[in-house]
Structure 1
């Protein structure tokens, strides 16, 4: 029994592709080995920004000769099926097969083979056929990978397996941390590999990088009376941006803390990939956590200073946009929507608002909401699309409108409708509950579906670039969660109604199987889609 160690060292792999690549590579190899040896494979995959790989603890050094019984077609199967099975195994007569339990079986003789030779062939096949969602060619080479490959390491039982992929041949040499400790490291086992890389400041396991980040954060903020905001996805993402994490704490200029919380979160989290902190009252703290891949000669101060300058520039822009946007009221921006295209075959957002207003007014009559209030709110729900803030940070549409509406003196109900009319966008989003928000959310989604279906844009297979399934499920959730007695049949195209009913059937099946988290009474949406008498 011998150990197998395999690594592919490359240019930086996107953070969301690292675990996919390492796990897929390990699964492809381990599954095949378990089939061949009838032996449980024990090992582990690992990844960093510049390497993916795995090790397997013990594989027999020889694949023993054996006979494998392959079941074929039924004895009474059509002749062409039987002939096809014979041809597959280079046979000519059914007499060469064994009859068993009403089926033909072929006893395939597997010759004994050296595992070293077997692994050589298997690894080359797996690497050559590896299914990256997106891959690239580089230089004049004909091979493809997620990013250009620098080297391959492959060691089995202390011996190099010279796996070849294009111009690259595997060795027992890997590389230390990029730009810092790129010395060549020779290894003959996994323990030697891991130990030597740790000395070269490379931590190959994501979980250990995450634990290191958490531990360093605790030490850094011990005297600040703040705590790190738990963010599983962001923590895993920043751990995938470094081979060995160094944590530093930066400070946010107090003047920027007056900006809306969502502006700070969007800038720090989504654009700068900073972990955030909060005070005891759950308000954002004026600090941010930097996870760096390098330690400079003067410690982390250079890293902190550089990141604070970048953040100050970004937040200064946000502050400027906020000031410029609030020089005019949100209602005064409505006419500018004529220049913002919703879809080139449908028209502008100004045109869409006219359609939303018609639907919203019809819904208002059923829910007994003041018509003038509805008409006024429809003029505001998309007006923040023309603001500088949303142009810079598109993730804030609706949220920016909420703050600007309040600053303009609009009621909280109107401001909330601007922010909430996009909901729900995903399964974890809440469902709107106030009548005005309900009207705006339903009208927006119904108009989107009607307009897209009218020009022939419908979801196909797994493709849904305009999120029309999400809009349909949003309508279902809003009506059912609020138990609304509405009639919306006259407001929707017949193909849109059928599309929504298809979603209802899927939800019914999932709820019946206990798979759906919504657990809503779907009778309300069915009632809403019945033709008025």
Structure 2
């Protein structure tokens, strides 16, 4: 069957847009093909710095003929309704319609509309220009005198259609004064001549000959493999950086890997500074020696095959990196010249948020809050306040001004250099953590206090000015902050009730549900241990774990069945009687041994559960509940709750209410599914 080859050749596409753009092109074209009745077998999209390409295989030469049944008005309807039906159905007379009968609605007109299929090339000629016009670039531009938008000026369009054993034809269409054809171009420097292509296989082969590797992932593999081999030959290893690898692969069409070096004297700088400098300025990979220390070398990925073996390219990169590292030394030494706290007054000139004041005002809040949290997490309040005071001081340093991603880290280096205790220096770095789901949480008490203060201040502040996340927007990363609070508390086993307003507490509940579900907890069990007032994160997680363990056992499953039976009986009888059964159980009215046994067991378990929950021992509490299985089963086997004697009936309902309320001490079992 025929295949479609589409290439959109342009000036350089930013690396960060390429993968998404390839997928967007594939989605837009294939969706439109299906909508047009052209069902395909497979599709794959590609991107290089100068082209987006798409191949769609297994396309039919025509869309199929279809028949649509259009329902019309009732027989005898006003003429205006009939005329409208005729126009919409393309009929000239009502005699061309047929009459169908419905037992309830009577007779009505129906038109069978036959739609002949269309030639695939004709359909593609309409689909492809619309795809280009509507393409969802994050940023786009116009050029010349046209109104067409593309990420960079579009220079050529290749669009061919045909099967393997025939000469393909060009899908004819215009876009921004460009006509589709079958001419593309190779590498900008190594093979810039025009190339005539027919179908995808010869297109890929022709590009390879013209020094273009079409597949982004293959370019990544080439860079990774060649860099690893080059480093290994020198007894070094690459510092893995998947984000940089993705970016570099998007900057080259024909990757050529080389190694450069810099003055080892620069290794006196913190290694994170060296890596950030080389990465940000030259898009190069850094290396480690056999001992794991940063090596004075780097890997360059060129987009050219140099006649001199790359000597000029390497020398040029070395020259730029030397200059940038010299700048880093200047910033570092200048920053070290003054204690961190000397930068605090500058924070008064730095706006944190228009409605929340300056960074200095925020620091004042952090100092107060960290001091309040410290005793609850086992930290010294004075050290927590000191760490909070210095936590944002590196924001006004030269190094963080140059590399914002080093905030916190540089604060730790500067704090250590000026003699601050290790726990304070580490808290300055770690108070931003966790930065994501795979990032570690702080574990030192001082760092915990400052990290919690930072995130809670962020959340309460933005809640106070009604800047809350929406379904699609979270510009201040408040979801991440809430998850950070949850992880810090849960992973450090902290009993730290959240003193926040109900709306923010509900937000924490939502984030906690996400966190627990991601960890494998059942959604209904999370709901069962949560109430609107639940503010103890550790307690909630422990209850969810304990409930899960209970219900995974036969005793727990049978106890749940008994609870439901008791709850259903109570609900029905309370509704009928118009009152709740909350009274004490009268021992003198317990006539059968099974009800006496249950009453005794419930009283004992109730006391034990209260003791265990008071000690945050939810596994122990659940274990106590599990012992109720046998007396509950025996009760329902032998006892008729709705006894003819009203007093006995009421006493038995009170007993069931006592059972229900005892189980609710640890969870709302009515929310458990299944």
TM-score by length of 2: 0.70
* Residue pairs, 1:438-477, within 5 angstroms: 438-477=448-487
CA distance in 2, matches of 1:134, 1:279: 41
Per-residue deviation, 1:508: 4.9
Query: Is 1:497 aligned with 2:505?
Result: yes
Aligned equivalent of 1:141, options 143, 146, 150: 146
CA distance in 2, matches of 1:145, 1:371: 57
Judge conservation of contact 1:487–1:528 (CA < 8 Å) in 2.
yes
Q: Which secondary structure does the structure 2 equivalent of 1:62 belong to?
A: coil
* Residue pairs, 1:120-519, within 5 angstroms: 120-157=125-162, 158-489=168-499, 492-508=500-516
Range that drifts further, 46-55 or 334-343: 334-343
Per-residue deviation, 1:133: 2.8
Judge conservation of contact 2:8–2:154 (CA < 8 Å) in 1.
yes
Q: Structure 2 vs 1, CA of residues 61 and 476 (structure 1 numbering), >3 Å: closer, same or farther? A: same
1:472-494 Cα distance to aligned partner (Å, 9 max, x none): 221122112212112341xx455
1:101-151 Cα distance to aligned partner (Å, 9 max, x none): 999998553313222212212222322222223322222111111221111
Residue correspondences, number = 515
Judge conservation of contact 1:49–1:240 (CA < 8 Å) in 2.
yes
Per-residue deviation, 1:186: 1.4
Q: Structure 2 vs 1, CA of residues 341 and 32 (structure 1 numbering), >3 Å: closer, same or farther? A: closer
Judge conservation of contact 1:417–1:436 (CA < 8 Å) in 2.
yes
Query: Is 1:50 aligned with 2:60?
Result: no
* Residue pairs, 1:54-133, within 5 angstroms: 54-67=54-67, 90=89, 108-133=113-138
Judge conservation of contact 1:98–1:107 (CA < 8 Å) in 2.
no
CA distance in 2, matches of 1:86, 1:500: 56
Judge conservation of contact 2:380–2:446 (CA < 8 Å) in 1.
no
Q: RCO greater where, 1 or 2, for CA within 8 Å and sep 6 or more? A: 1
TM-score by length of 1: 0.87
1:527 equivalent in structure 2? 536
Structure whose alpha-carbon radius of gyration is higher: 2
Q: Structure 2 vs 1, CA of residues 23 and 87 (structure 1 numbering), >3 Å: closer, same or farther? A: farther
Backbone CA RMSD of aligned residues: 3.3
CA distance in 2, matches of 1:207, 1:389: 34
1:13 equivalent in structure 2? 13
Per-residue deviation, 1:511: 5.1
Query: Unpaired runs of 5+ in structure 2?
Result: 75-80, 163-167, 524-528, 540-674
Per-residue deviation, 1:364: 1.8
CA distance in 2, matches of 1:88, 1:244: 59
Q: Structure 2 vs 1, CA of residues 106 and 333 (structure 1 numbering), >3 Å: closer, same or farther? A: farther
Q: Which secondary structure does the structure 2 equivalent of 1:4 belong to?
A: strand
Q: Structure 2 vs 1, CA of residues 286 and 529 (structure 1 numbering), >3 Å: closer, same or farther? A: closer
1:258-313 Cα distance to aligned partner (Å, 9 max, x none): 21121122122244321222222332222111111123342311111111111111
1:379-404 Cα distance to aligned partner (Å, 9 max, x none): 21111112111111111110001111
Q: Structure 2 vs 1, CA of residues 123 and 86 (structure 1 numbering), >3 Å: closer, same or farther? A: farther
Range that drifts further, 60-69 or 405-414: 60-69
CA distance in 2, matches of 1:377, 1:289: 38
Q: Structure 2 vs 1, CA of residues 336 and 127 (structure 1 numbering), >3 Å: closer, same or farther? A: closer
Range that drifts further, 48-57 or 453-462: 453-462
More helix by share: 2
Judge conservation of contact 2:375–2:381 (CA < 8 Å) in 1.
yes
CA distance in 2, matches of 1:284, 1:176: 38
1:78 equivalent in structure 2? none
CA distance in 1, matches of 2:13, 2:100: 51
CA distance in 1, matches of 2:90, 2:171: 35
Per-residue deviation, 1:226: 0.9
Q: Structure 2 vs 1, CA of residues 164 and 378 (structure 1 numbering), >3 Å: closer, same or farther? A: same
